[in-house]
Structure 1
Amino acid sequence: MLIKEELLMNYGAKIVNFTKGKYVFKENDDLVSYFQISTGTVKIVSEKKAGREFIQNISIQGDCLGALFLFLKHPYSVSAIAMENSRIIKLEKLCFDLMLKDNPKILLDLYKYTAENMHYTYLMKGFASESPSEKIMNLFNYLKKSKPPTDSYQVFLTRQQIASLTGLRVESVIRTVKKLQNLGILLVINRKIFY
């Protein structure tokens, strides 16, 4: 948890439930709140014309959504969409500002969180010169690192989402996953990928 739920609630936060596919916020919306995922998964996307989207990031329990925009005073430049039924903590901007003023250590935590996200962004941009296998394995390594250590990690992404995150075409993802499966690097059971 980036910021303890109890602290957020003490400053007036509310729990909002989002069903799969619902927007937490949309690109170009005005900044009004700090959001933190209590349970669930949310994708951060740039939306293109003709309904296409580019997934910038996938946020999980404990992650905050759009916090940096609260410091910029610009509208959101991305959208946040629930990938599954999710509980999101929502704290109005004025209350968020007061909480930061009263608890300056949170700024350091936000800074560390931002640095980790920038690392992820640079890692993803570095995929440009890699083979499809390397791109997919690097993505899976990054996702697996964010979970408790286990022998096998189930990848909770569709082939389309993997393609969007790596800059590959869906067909390339399907072929590459099959190739990695044949090499014994991945296991696919009932269309679910285990790494």
Structure 2
Amino acid sequence: MKRCIICLQELDLFQGLEREQFANLCQCTKRKRLSKGHYLFHQGETTSTIYLIKSGKLKLVQTALDGHETILDVCGPGEVLGEMSLYQEQNENSSAIAMEEVRICCFSKLQFESLIKQDPSFAMRIISYLGQKRYETMLKPSKEAGLTVKERLLRLFYRLAEQYGRKTPTSTLIDLKITQQELADMIGSSRVMVIQALKELKAANIIDREKRYFVLKDDPCISVHTFN
């Protein structure tokens, strides 16, 4: 019980809830483990479940009618999936696939509705949370418009470093095992183009590779704000 309460309290969405409300929520919470490659949910499914990632990482993959796959995002500990079911019942627009072993807390829509009845201010936090996520989703394409493959890739590395980076004296190791094809899928490019961009970034001493992890070198001439 204690670990679940701490897990919830770390989320902005649950800030301000009374301890008794946390306890009631945790008592009804289901826990799930996923092995690498297993699906949390499939594109097109209708779900009324909200998922909180406690550990591990999942990728959100959208499959087009022609079979082409695009990785929309990589989600890690503390992030919430399926939250749109709080707003309306709709089909998932992507599949969530475990990139490693993942532990998840599962909440039903009814549990959130019960919290709203107990604490109406919780509804405002949900509205604010969903609004911010929608704004970030809408803003992403406009930020990348007109950028080269190398620029989009570097921007992606900075974002991943911010989310999953482990700082060293001269660099940041991105604690995420990700393939060249997955990088290509995330920026909407081909693997060939990504390989070329990686060569150029490595030649410029901006990125490197340690085993299966990418490393972003510290460079005072490059500012992360340039790519935000």
Q: Is the 8 A contact 2:57 2:75 kept in 1?
A: yes
Structure 1 residue 32 displacement after superposition: 2.3
Q: Structure 1 pair 98/91, CA: closer, same or farther in 2 (3 Å)?
A: same
Q: What is the CA–CA distance in structure 1 between the aligned matches of 2:36 and 2:143, rounded to whole Å?
A: 30
| Equivalent residue letter for 1:187 | D
Give 1:186 shift: 0.6
Show the counterpart of 1:162.
183
CA distance, structure 2, for counterparts of residue 178 and residue 121 of structure 1: 31
Which residue matches 1:187? 208
Matched pairs, number: 194
Q: Over residues 21-47 of structure 1, what are the superposed CA-to-partner deviations in whole Å (9 max), with x where a residue is unaligned?
A: 111111221222111101110111212
For 1:64-91, what per-residue CA distance to the aligned partner results, in whole angstroms no more than 9, with x for missing partners?
0020133121122222111111001011
Hey, what's the Cα distance between the residues in 2 that align with 1:14 and 1:147?
A: 26
1:141-172: CA deviation from partner (whole Å, max 9, x where unpaired): 11222246723132622111111111111111
2:59–2:98: 8 Å Cα contact kept in structure 1? yes
More relative contact order, 1 or 2 (CA 8 Å, 6+ apart): 1
The reply to whether residue 14 of structure 1 matches residue 40 of structure 2 is no
Q: How does 1:131-170 map to 2 (within 5 A)?
A: 131-147=148-164, 150=167, 151-154=171-174, 156=176, 157-170=178-191
Alignment of 1:33-44 (within 5 A): 33-44=49-60
Q: 1:128 aligns with which of 145, 162, 165?
A: 145
Could you tell me the percent identity over the aligned residues?
23
When normalised by structure 1's length, the TM-score is: 0.85
Closer, same or farther: CA 148–43 of 1 in aligned 2, 3 Å: closer
C-alpha spacing 1:72/1:123, structure 2 compared with 1 (3 Å): same
Gaps (5+ residues) in structure 2?
A: 1-9, 217-228
Kindly indicate whether the alpha-carbon contact (under 8 Å) linking 2:208 and 2:214 is maintained by their aligned counterparts in 1. Answer: yes
1:46 aligns to what?
62
Q: What is the identity, as a one-letter code, of the residue corresponding to 1:18?
A: L
Distance 1:11 1:107, change over 3 A: farther
Task: After TM superposition, give the deviation of residue 52 of structure 1 in Å.
Answer: 3.7
Q: Which moved more, 1:85-94 or 1:182-191?
A: 182-191
CA RMSD of aligned residues (A): 2.5
In the alignment, what sits opposite 1:174?
A: 195
| One-letter amino acid matched to 2:153 | I
Deviation, structure 1 residue 109 = 4.5
Is the contact made by 1:38 and 1:89 (CA closer than 8 Å) also made in structure 2? yes
Give unpaired runs (5+ residues) of structure 1.
none
Confirm or deny: 8 A CA contact 2:164 2:175 kept in the other structure. no
Deviates more, 1:127-136 or 1:177-186: 127-136
Structure 1 pair 112/94, CA: closer, same or farther in 2 (3 Å)? closer
Give the 4+ runs in structure 1 shifted more than 6 A: none
> The residue matched to 1:75 in structure 2 has which SS?
coil
- The change in CA–CA distance for 1:142 and 1:100 in structure 2 (over 3 A counts) is farther
